[in-house]
């Protein structure tokens, strides 16, 4: 793979994102090497800016700022720390916070890639953080649940003696024009990004109505994950699903934002605003929530439980509903798929429509067989701007028809019905 810094026509970095070079390398070869490494990284990030990836540049600039804040301690330890950095030996984080911060910046960037709002950059592997730090004797944990092997839990059935519960999670999303996050069909060359905005809007104007025809023809219930902004922009869409008796589930205000970016007060207000819109329109509060971009802060389950939610769909770590501990009690986690999900499968993994259909069918058949031993939940996560495109819809129709043909062997349902059955009968671990 070519090193992006080899080209002579690398554009200059935007001054807002300049990487400070405050340390005079003098005759110290280690310090000089560190400065050279920073210069090379600066060129890579310049290329990212030229390809419209300002988020990465900002994240790196923030990480470098931490070096500046630690300048005095860093100067005292620079030779030892720089030598350890290039040897990838354990680093004293109190003396040199930058490596962990850079790693967090890359994790943020990777989150954006998975969300589909950025393209994966062609960074050389030698420039990616791979820093080996001393490990704590006990790893940090979320504290939300204890380990439980699925093969060692009590057995139960879904209604009608069924063993596999299958639901469709249809995401109805609206995006800000000219700013914010959003999945991309093609690289953006600045805002307003008309191409990608209009591509996403196709889902609300066309794709969702074509999908609705399939759901009606196959008599498939749907769990509809709704941005509250949809009620202002295209309330007719929600009206159509309400008329079918489908479940309306909270999905934030807009997928132009990630709720983890807010402080606790801001996130609480976001949840309250979205909940109020859905409650007023539907005549009752939503029971479930899926965060935009599956984005949680450290207190999201606590805030949702305190806001009256019975279940959350953010956690994909199980095939059965499980309880999450919160500071005010508990909230049920209903499995929501990240594999049987068109967002990772199509923009990120580049699956063809036939491959995505095969993924759905193979998952269904395998889980149907597995469910003889344990009751399981299979979700199918869909977005109208992706699978509502005609050539993908043709293949999706085949997958849903395959599942509908086995309706006598499964429980075709919604996430809320799954949560209610588990909570009312005290079935979850």
- In this predicted structure, what is the pLDDT of residue 59? 57
- In this predicted structure, what is the pLDDT of residue 136? 60
The three-state secondary structure class of 230 is: helix
Cα(304)–Cα(302) distance, integer angstroms: 6
- In this predicted structure, what is the pLDDT of residue 46? 63
Domain boundaries in the chain?
4-127, 150-424
- In this predicted structure, what is the pLDDT of residue 18? 39
DSSP H/E element including 326: strand 322-326
Residue/partner pairs of 371-374 with CB below 8 Å, 24 or more apart: 371/163, 371/164, 372/163, 373/151, 374/150, 374/151, 374/153, 374/155, 374/163, 374/319, 374/320
- In this predicted structure, what is the pLDDT of residue 167? 98
- In this predicted structure, what is the pLDDT of residue 66? 46
Cα(265)–Cα(164) distance, integer angstroms: 39
- In this predicted structure, what is the pLDDT of residue 202? 97
User: What tens-digit pLDDT sequence spans the chain (429 residues)?
Assistant: 444 444 444 444 444 333 344 334 444 444 455 455 556 555 655 665 666 666 665 655 554 444 444 334 444 554 444 444 444 333 333 333 344 444 444 444 444 444 444 444 444 444 444 444 455 678 889 999 999 999 999 999 999 999 999 999 999 999 999 888 888 888 777 889 899 999 999 999 999 999 999 999 999 999 999 999 999 999 999 999 999 999 999 999 999 999 988 999 999 999 999 999 999 999 999 999 999 999 999 999 999 999 999 999 999 999 999 999 999 999 999 999 999 999 999 988 899 999 999 999 999 999 999 999 999 999 999 999 999 999 999 999 999 999 999 999 999 999 999 999 999 999 999
DSSP 329-360: EEEEE----SSSBHHIIIIIT---HHHHHHHH
Max Cα–Cα distance, the chain, nearest Å: 79
**Superfamily holding 150-424:** Glycoside hydrolase/deacetylase (3.20.20.370)
DSSP H/E element including 411: strand 411-413
Rounded to 5 degrees, what are φ and ψ at 113? Answer: -65, -45
Please state the separation of Cα 118 from the chain's center in Å: 12
**Crossing angle for the helix pair 71-87 and 54-69, nearest 10 degrees?**
120
Q: Is 247 left (phi over 0), alpha (psi -120 to 50) or beta?
A: beta
pTM > 0.85:
no
Query: How many H helices and E strands in the chain?
Result: 15, 9
Strand pairing category for 376-382 and 247-250: unpaired
- In this predicted structure, what is the pLDDT of residue 131? 43
């Amino acid at each position: 793979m070519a090193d992006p810094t080899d080209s002579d026509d690398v554009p200059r970095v935007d001054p807002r994102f300049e990487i400070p070079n405050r340390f005079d390398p003098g005759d110290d070869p280690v310090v000089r090497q560190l400065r050279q490494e920073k210069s090379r990284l600066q060129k890579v990030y310049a290329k990212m800016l030229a390809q419209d990836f300002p988020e990465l540049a900002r994240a790196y600039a923030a990480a470098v700022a931490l070096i500046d804040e630690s300048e005095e301690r860093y100067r005292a330890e620079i030779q030892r720390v720089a030598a350890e950095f290039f040897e990838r030996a354990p680093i004293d984080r109190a003396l040199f916070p930058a490596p962990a911060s850079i790693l967090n910046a890359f994790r943020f960037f990777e989150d954006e890639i998975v969300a589909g709002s950025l393209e994966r950059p062609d960074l050389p592997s030698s420039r990616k953080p791979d820093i080996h730090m001393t490990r704590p004797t006990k790893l940090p944990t979320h504290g939300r649940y204890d380990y439980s092997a699925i093969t060692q839990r009590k057995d139960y059935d879904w209604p009608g003696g069924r063993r596999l519960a299958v639901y469709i999670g249809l995401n109805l999303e609206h995006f800000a024009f000219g700013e914010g996050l959003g999945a991309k069909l093609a690289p953006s060359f600045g805002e307003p990004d008309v191409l990608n905005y209009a591509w996403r809007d196709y889902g609300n104007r066309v794709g969702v109505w074509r999908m609705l025809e399939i759901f009606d023809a196959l008599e498939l219930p749907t769990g509809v994950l709704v941005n509250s902004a949809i009620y202002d922009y295209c309330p007719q869409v929600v009206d159509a699903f309400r008329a079918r008796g489908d479940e309306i589930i909270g999905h934030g205000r807009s997928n132009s934002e990630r709720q983890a970016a807010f402080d606790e007060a801001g996130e609480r207000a976001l949840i309250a605003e979205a909940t109020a819109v859905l409650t007023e329109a539907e005549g009752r509060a939503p029971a479930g929530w899926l965060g935009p971009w599956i984005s949680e802060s450290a207190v999201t389950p606590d805030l949702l439980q305190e806001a009256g939610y019975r279940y959350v769909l953010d956690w994909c770590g199980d095939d059965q509903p499980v309880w999450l501990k919160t500071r005010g009690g508990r909230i049920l986690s209903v499995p929501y798929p990240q594999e049987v999900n068109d967002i990772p499968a199509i923009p990120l993994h580049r699956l063809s429509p036939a491959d995505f259909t095969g993924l759905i069918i193979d998952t269904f058949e395998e889980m149907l067989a597995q469910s003889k031993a344990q009751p399981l939940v299979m979700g199918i996560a869909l977005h109208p701007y992706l699978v509502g495109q005609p050539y993908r819809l043709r293949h999706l129709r085949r997958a849903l028809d395959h599942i509908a043909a086995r309706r006598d062997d499964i429980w075709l349902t919604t996430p809320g019905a799954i949560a209610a059955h588990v909570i009312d009968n005290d079935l979850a671990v």
